[in-house]
Chains A and B, each alone.
Chain A
Amino acid sequence: MFGGTVRGRTSTLRVPADADLDAHRRWAADMRIRRAGPIGRWHEPAATATWKERWAEQAKDKTSVMWSIGAGDALVGYARIRFEGAPLAEILLLDQFVIDPDHARKGYGFDAALALHRWAFDFMHLRMSVTDRIAADDAGRQRILEKLGYARFGHGHAVYYRDGAYVDQYLYQMDRDVWSERWADEREYPPLGDETAR
């Protein structure tokens, strides 16, 4: 599936548009992004026709959701989540989370991640968010996750291979209770008042 609009403060998760395909082609072929490991590798580089097929499959897939991340008029990245145990899913798996290196260090990553988790916990009321796709040397994503409230629960050894060497894997999770405590003011909608009349 494609995800609808979730507004952050400086960025917005929005429905992917055909015009975004070129960026995906570019990101898939960018070694700066691919270096992150599986969380930065949604498919291998491919021809335009193949990318269109991938998007069609993504649109139909009811076990996952993908968004483009925009900031102003610019496309700055994308996010993709999967539902663990669909169709009775209550756990979100953070599958892809990419900010274009040309837009890095502007705060879009954390802002988009906060919006994404507001959708997950405040809007969808999911029970837990998990990712097993973080390389041990990926300090940027680790900072974002830990600032959100994720706790590390696992450490895989020599899991990803790149640059001629293995790198370890960190696994993170966050329960809805942690989110609710830490981000109590992050609400998709303001509370409704008492209903005085029908």
Chain B
Amino acid sequence: MFGPVLKGANGVSLRTPALDDRKLVNRWMLEPETSRFWGGRMMDVRDEAFAERHTKDADDPNSVNWSIAYQEETVGFTGLFDIDWIARDCESGIFIGRSDLYGQGIASEAVRLRTEFAWRELNLHRVHNWISLRNRGSRRANEKAGYTQMGLMPHYGFRSGQWYDDWLGEVFPPARSAGIFVPPSKGG
């Protein structure tokens, strides 16, 4: 499924993804600046393939997908995937395609919005993810939202003559209910 609009701080918001967002973000994945810690820089780039994947994501009842917007422009995507509705656990992921905007806190705010949504709206119990240990920006963004290390997988990937380990993180709702309290609507 697609997620609703979530307004965040510093011009960052999560938006319901449009097909054009997907095309844009996927093409960014094919660039060297964004793919040191991502994929193999290859994909089916036909329009019909994008449309098919977009529809598949929309129809998937076990995932929530968003586009990330910064100053109203699409800059990446994030989501909650493989939701186990019994264990109330899922995996999370994020990709910022605009490498010129790295280091500006966009991912941190997007992860914060996504994680709060997992607790407040989906009533999830746990969210986990796998991040390249050397991808400091992504790891830091997740740690700021409360993710803690639950494992370290040596030699997960190999790039440019080096082995990369993978960092395994997990996050739970705030222990105190006050941490996720939402003031009731005043109506009207």
Residues of A within 8 A of B (CB): 85, 88, 128, 130, 153-161, 166, 171, 173, 175
Q: Nearest chain-A residue to B87 (Cβ)?
A: A161
State in angstroms the CA–CA spacing of A37 and B128 once bound together.
17
Q: Is the CB of B40 within 8 A of A88?
A: yes
Q: How large is the interface on B (under 10, 10 to 19, 20 to 34, 35 or more residues)?
A: 10 to 19
Q: Is the CB of B153 within 8 A of A173?
A: yes
Contact of A171 among B88, B153, B155, B172 (CB under 8 A): B153
Given A154-B150, A154-B168, residue A159 in contact with residue B89 (CB < 8 A) = yes
State in angstroms the CA–CA spacing of A156 and B126 once bound together.
10
Chain B contact residues: helix, strand, loop or mixed: strand
Residues in A with CB closer than 8 Å to B168 are: 153-154, 156, 171
State in angstroms the CA–CA spacing of A159 and B124 once bound together.
11
Q: Nearest chain-B residue to A91 (Cβ)?
A: B156
Q: Is the CB of A154 within 8 A of B153?
A: yes
Given A88-B40, A156-B128, A171-B168, residue A161 in contact with residue B86 (CB < 8 A) = yes
Q: Nearest chain-A residue to B149 (Cβ)?
A: A154
Q: Is the CB of A156 within 8 A of B151?
A: yes
Residues in B with CB closer than 8 Å to A155 are: 150-151
17 further A-B pairs in the complex, CB-CB below 8 A; given A157-B172, A158-B126, A161-B87: A88-B40, A153-B151, A153-B152, A153-B153, A153-B154, A154-B150, A154-B168, A156-B128, A156-B168, A157-B150, A157-B170, A159-B126, A160-B87, A161-B88, A166-B87, A171-B151, A175-B155
B36 at the interface (CB under 8 A from A): no
Residues in B with CB closer than 8 Å to A128 are: 155
Per-residue CB contact flags for chain B residues 57-101 toward chain A (1 = under 8 Å, else 0) read: 000000000000000000000000000001111000000000000
Residues in A with CB closer than 8 Å to B89 are: 159
State in angstroms the CA–CA spacing of A85 and B166 once bound together.
15
